[in-house]
Structure 1
């Protein structure tokens, strides 16, 4: 909770104003029964109308003061709560942005969304209600007891006996409620995860006619959320009847002993009325405690979940000796005995990989599914850091390069294409913030997508649907490639990024890529693509089993020969003929 309280520090002044105004309301509420007692004993009982009017006028004036204080208090309470929520949400977003892939695996995407929305809203509500109502409730209980002692000590003792029992009960309920609502938030994460997963796979669900199956899965999680919520609220709802029972018993006791004291002359009727009035106000304050317990229990659970993210230690990606702005001049890449395994796993994805890519070369990476191709790609821009060994960029350890500067000089096209909401132009320019329309069109032409864009309704200003839903697979791939090319990168990384392209389009694309002064790494499953590279790297079970040109591997590598024979069967019209290290189709 200390992390959450730290976000309130910038708003201490408006908080103080809100609390002072809340105290004004509280003082009015505490003094009203005392003035009512004066009105009864000195005015009504003495049949003195002037006393009744005087005290009645004072009470009306104080009520107006409390009304104005409440309105202004609400303004400042809202300001503090909304501003704090904004700051917490911004900090969470910045924290998540700083996470490495290792941390992103720890938190589900749906859980992070819930924490930045629902959990932050719980904190906002708690802050607002605390400054507006909830802090007044316990102060009203304490103040009511104190003022009861001022009126009549003997009658006040009835309230004093009851209050400690209620406080112990409330503390127990708050602790139990916090545990229950933590379970509710976890169930909410599961529901959000199911919703996100289903919306993302809606086409697949419809094609496989799995709507009923997915509906049952969602229903199961939704019922679990409902059951957890009902269980938590059911326990919390016990609070109000128990509080009312205890306080009503106390008020009956005040009336009983009050009548006896009035008969013996130890108390006046106005004093009994005042004590009963304080008891009623304390009761009304205690009924708010049910809401307080629910809100605070949920807020405590939410605060723990938010703190869990904020307190996550981020990997130190930049060493103290990191060069702040070393440019990649040549684009030479060298892996030296590099091994890698994912966090919380002892199985090596890459095992002592060593190879070199010369500046300006194109390296094609081949391998079966799970051989470590994409994992190898992730290590170059340091989305993950190597477990063992070293990666050199232009003969410099990549760990000694400032990570932001390293990534700014890399053009990366992932296997899973991600387009953002906005126009075609904005999606291409996303790779370079200061890109001009000329830059955008040049990149689009090289990516072989310009002609397709010109056929769209608004050309480069055409809006792209969510994840590019209104584009074909090949169009999305080429837009993603254009986004990488616009950076004029020194290292270009294409992770199976031509799989949806036809042979002619792919050939034109690779020819255009040859005009860029960069080192290109290309993951592909197609030998027809790999054959056009300067060098081919063959991976098997995380190990480099061969590297060389197409001709070298075809004559020296049994595994490559098998791949070649499987893709270029005898008699195939696209069979490649190797002639002196060159090829033709």
Structure 2
């Protein structure tokens, strides 16, 4: 799909708009001829009847042009706004269908710019195409032809000058396209810095780094301003050059026309008509500079949007009877290797393990050991580079994404909440969830009592990203959102780090009542020791696996972690006892 294909539904509206525009153009081309006749046959001949009749005709066709212009503007506005709506809808839908790996090709700020500023440029240029973009070049062409019809010798000045100006304008348009691509990239950068700052505003204030952030924004904002000014200076330079040349042509016409009148080779009305055509052509050429600027920006914006529309979508499979069955939750990794980018090291290397349905698995490892990468392969957010991932003895690639992911509850490392009520955030995990199901999920996630303390309880509005909630509350709401869908596989990516030990134990105990396989990434031995299986990762490799007791006797690294955390726990207990 390309942007141009989205224009097709508005072809009839566009044709009607162009017909109305042609009516306007015809009136504009005929008006100087009528003016010439009024002067030569009416005013100079003192014929009031001719002046009255032709004057009424001129007023009549002017009213027709006015009505056509108003109707044209309405239709052009309708087509432009609807095209913008369609582009935004299709691009947004496309982004939803992209594989997780493709979303990393552009920063979030770039997607936002494409959905807003770039779409605006395209819908504006469609409006302009239906209103003035085609009218201006046609006026230049037919205005010159009509001028030749009125007086060929005088009009030859236009025939020489206008082709040179058109070549110049084509050069400007090509250069403008390159410049405006640079402008859009600078705008992406401004949006990126602004977005980062607003998301991390708490941290900025906590570190009192507002001066640094202001300077960073001023830098990218200045770069955008300078690039835009440079581009506009280049484009705007065309207008005075065009006016200078066309005004020089009009002066030549007046000078040469005066000579022709002296020898009887031209009439006053003809000269007025030629000058009138020259003025209209000058205005059209001036308008062309504005049109070229708009088309240059729209071309750059169209290419950026087409980049998104032509990206490869997530590969899915058709629903099959075997894949549509309810998952049991058995998971197996067979010699799995995975990397995010081809020129990067493996995030996971030759990983093999198996989990029976209903078991609990704890995954330990240092930062960057591949724990989150392992999680993301299960719901097929990413595809394994080598090896296979199985669920219920079936390759995950054979499951339709919807069938697979609707039965998986995923709680990411960073708790993300949407703007809306607490009830809506929990129900986001299951759109048709009843109030009873929502409350049950909240109780199991150990957040129900906290919710009931809010004045509006489940109707309490959650600020953007849960800004009005504590870290532990956000984590528990995220877990409730996963639990409400009664998942067959539950993935908790370090999702209990902000919880105290007692709350965490209650939470895990409640989850064990669910008929699901649970994988939990954790740094706490107290959490891991109750799991049916513990996986110990280091730099993407599985260096040990087994139960808590087995790893204590076989893994030196696990022993060190256990002893270290035990010492810390004893210190904390001693400190608490002394108090």
TM-score, L = length of structure 2: 0.97
Q: Which moved more, 1:491-500 or 1:90-99?
A: 90-99
Shift of 1:460: 0.5
- In the aligned structure 2, how far is the partner of 1:477 from the partner of 1:57? 78
Which consecutive aligned stretches of 4+ in structure 1 deviate over 3 angstroms post-superposition?
319-325
Q: How does 1:302-381 map to 2 (within 5 A)?
A: 302-316=301-315, 318-319=316-317, 325-381=323-379
Q: Deviations over 1:151-206 (max 9, x none)?
A: 11111111110100100010001111111111111000000000000001111111
Distance 1:570 1:99, change over 3 A: closer
Structure 1 contact 236–294 (Cα < 8 Å) conserved: yes
2:205 maps to what in 1? 206
2:250 maps to what in 1? 251
1:130 maps to what in 2? 129
1:195 maps to what in 2? 194
Q: Deviations over 1:317-337 (max 9, x none)?
A: x24696684234321000000
- In the aligned structure 2, how far is the partner of 1:469 from the partner of 1:167? 57
3-state SS, counterpart of residue 542 of structure 2: strand
Shift of 1:344: 3.3
Shift of 1:574: 8.4
Shift of 1:283: 0.5
1:423 lines up with 2:421 in the alignment: yes
- In the aligned structure 2, how far is the partner of 1:558 from the partner of 1:4? 60
Q: Deviations over 1:445-470 (max 9, x none)?
A: 00000000001110011111111111
- In the aligned structure 2, how far is the partner of 1:130 from the partner of 1:529? 65
1:298 maps to what in 2? 297
2:66 maps to what in 1? 67
- In the aligned structure 1, how far is the partner of 2:310 from the partner of 2:564? 52
2:35 maps to what in 1? 36
3-state SS, counterpart of residue 335 of structure 1: strand
3-state SS, counterpart of residue 515 of structure 2: coil
- In the aligned structure 2, how far is the partner of 1:100 from the partner of 1:384? 7
Structure 1 contact 148–278 (Cα < 8 Å) conserved: yes
- In the aligned structure 1, how far is the partner of 2:569 from the partner of 2:286? 86
Distance 1:222 1:324, change over 3 A: farther
3-state SS, counterpart of residue 180 of structure 1: helix
- In the aligned structure 2, how far is the partner of 1:403 from the partner of 1:329? 13
Structure 1 contact 323–401 (Cα < 8 Å) conserved: no
- In the aligned structure 1, how far is the partner of 2:375 from the partner of 2:415? 15
3-state SS, counterpart of residue 430 of structure 2: coil
1:464 lines up with 2:457 in the alignment: no
Shift of 1:314: 2.5
- In the aligned structure 2, how far is the partner of 1:156 from the partner of 1:25? 23
- In the aligned structure 2, how far is the partner of 1:173 from the partner of 1:220? 29
1:110 lines up with 2:109 in the alignment: yes
Shift of 1:252: 1.4
1:449 lines up with 2:447 in the alignment: yes
- In the aligned structure 2, how far is the partner of 1:111 from the partner of 1:319? 30
1:435 maps to what in 2? 433
Shift of 1:47: 0.9
- In the aligned structure 2, how far is the partner of 1:456 from the partner of 1:570? 35
Shift of 1:95: 1.0
2:51 maps to what in 1? 52
Distance 1:320 1:426, change over 3 A: closer
Q: How does 1:142-541 map to 2 (within 5 A)?
A: 142-316=141-315, 318-319=316-317, 325-541=323-539
Distance 1:574 1:225, change over 3 A: closer
Distance 1:320 1:455, change over 3 A: closer
Structure 1 contact 18–76 (Cα < 8 Å) conserved: yes
Structure 1 contact 568–574 (Cα < 8 Å) conserved: no
3-state SS, counterpart of residue 416 of structure 1: coil
Q: Which moved more, 1:524-533 or 1:324-333?
A: 324-333
- In the aligned structure 2, how far is the partner of 1:94 from the partner of 1:17? 31
Number of residues paired by the alignment? Answer: 573
- In the aligned structure 2, how far is the partner of 1:191 from the partner of 1:105? 19
1:582 maps to what in 2? none
Structure 1 contact 81–127 (Cα < 8 Å) conserved: yes
3-state SS, counterpart of residue 131 of structure 1: helix
3-state SS, counterpart of residue 193 of structure 2: helix
Shift of 1:345: 2.7
Q: Which moved more, 1:532-541 or 1:488-497?
A: 532-541
3-state SS, counterpart of residue 370 of structure 1: coil
Structure 1 contact 82–124 (Cα < 8 Å) conserved: yes
Q: Deviations over 1:337-370 (max 9, x none)?
A: 0000112334111010000011100000000110
Structure 1 contact 496–524 (Cα < 8 Å) conserved: yes
Distance 1:544 1:177, change over 3 A: same
TM-score, L = length of structure 1: 0.96
- In the aligned structure 2, how far is the partner of 1:16 from the partner of 1:296? 20
- In the aligned structure 2, how far is the partner of 1:323 from the partner of 1:172? 61
- In the aligned structure 1, how far is the partner of 2:569 from the partner of 2:151? 109
Q: Which runs of 5+ in 1 are unaligned?
A: 576-585
Q: Which moved more, 1:483-492 or 1:254-263?
A: 254-263
- In the aligned structure 2, how far is the partner of 1:570 from the partner of 1:427? 36
- In the aligned structure 2, how far is the partner of 1:153 from the partner of 1:227? 47
3-state SS, counterpart of residue 101 of structure 2: helix
- In the aligned structure 1, how far is the partner of 2:223 from the partner of 2:102? 27
